[in-house]
C-alpha cells in the first residue's frame, strides 16, 4: 500500500502557504470543500469552527477528538453558503470533481460571496487530463481559463503556481498529477 495522502493527515498546500506567509490567524470560521481531513483538522486545532463539506472520508477518531468540525456529506456544489460568513475557504481537490465547468464557476462565485472581507480562499484545479483515476468525471482548465473563473470577483491574488509530479496513490503505486494552486484574499 502507498504512503498516506497529505490531504488526509496534514494541512494541504494552500493552508501551509497562508500560514508560512503569516496570513492565517488563530480562530475564526472556516469552510473546507471535499472534506480534506488534514485541512479541517489543522484549522480546528487553530481554533476555527470548521464546516467540512464533501464525501464520507471523516473518521470516528476525528469526530471524537473534541474538535469543532461540522460534517456535511454530499455534493459540494449544492452546499448553501451564507454571505460574508467564512474567514477561510479551502477547496483542496474538490472543484476538479465537478465535471461541468459552468458549475465550477458558480461554486467559485458562491464561495467568494461566502468569504468575509479579508478572508482567505485557496483552490486547486487540474491542468490536464492525466493518470488520475481514469474514467472518473473531472474538469480540466488551462491557465487563462482558470484565471477567468475569478475575473470580476472581489479578490486579490496572493499567490499562484503550476505544479507537476508524481505522488503515492491510495490504492498503491503512484500517480501523475498536474495542478494549479491559487491563493486569494477577499477585498
Q: Is residue 88 part of a domain?
A: yes
How big is the CA angle at 170 (ends 166 and 172), to the nearest 5 degrees?
Answer: 75
160 located within any domain: yes
Minimum mean pLDDT range among 39-53, 112-126, 149-163, 171-185: 171-185
Residues 6+ apart with CB under 8 A from 181: 13, 14, 17, 122, 124, 159, 160, 161, 162, 163
The tens digit of pLDDT for each residue in 114-132 reads 999 999 999 999 876 544 5
What pLDDT shows up at residue 28?
96
| Residue 72, domain CATH | 3.40.50.150
Q: Which of 22-31, 38-47, 140-149, 169-178 has the lowest mean pLDDT?
A: 169-178
Output helix, strand, coil percentages for the chain, rounded to the nearest 5: 25, 35, 40
The more confidently predicted of residues 169 and 49 is 49
Domain of 55, in residue numbers = 6-186
Is 25 a domain residue? yes
Name the percent of the chain lying above pLDDT 70: 82
> Is 1 part of a structural domain of the chain?
no
**Total domain count, the chain:** 1
- pLDDT tens digit sequence for 16-74: 999 999 999 999 999 999 866 789 889 999 999 999 998 665 554 455 567 788 888 88
Amino acid at each position: 500500500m502507498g504512503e498516506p495522502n497529505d490531504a488526509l493527515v496534514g494541512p494541504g498546500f494552500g493552508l501551509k502557504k497562508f500560514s508560512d506567509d503569516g496570513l492565517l490567524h488563530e480562530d475564526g470560521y472556516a469552510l473546507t470543500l471535499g472534506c480534506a481531513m488534514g485541512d479541517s483538522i489543522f484549522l480546528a486545532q487553530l481554533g476555527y469552527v470548521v464546516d467540512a463539506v464533501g464525501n464520507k472520508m471523516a473518521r470516528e477518531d476525528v469526530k471524537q477528538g473534541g474538535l469543532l468540525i461540522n460534517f456535511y456529506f454530499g455534493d459540494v456544489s449544492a452546499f448553501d453558503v451564507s454571505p460574508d460568513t467564512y474567514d477561510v475557504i479551502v477547496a483542496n481537490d474538490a472543484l476538479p470533481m465537478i465535471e461541468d465547468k459552468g458549475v465550477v464557476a458558480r461554486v467559485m462565485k458562491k464561495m467568494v460571496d461566502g468569504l468575509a472581507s479579508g478572508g482567505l480562499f485557496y483552490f486547486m484545479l487540474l491542468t490536464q487530463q492525466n493518470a488520475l483515476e481514469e474514467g472518473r468525471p473531472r474538469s480540466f482548465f488551462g491557465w487563462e481559463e482558470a484565471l477567468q473563473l475569478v475575473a470580476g470577483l472581489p479578490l486579490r491574488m496572493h499567490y499562484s503556481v503550476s505544479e507537476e509530479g508524481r505522488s503515492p496513490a491510495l490504492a498503491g503505486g503512484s500517480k501523475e498529477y498536474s495542478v494549479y494552486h491559487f491563493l486569494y484574499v477577499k477585498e
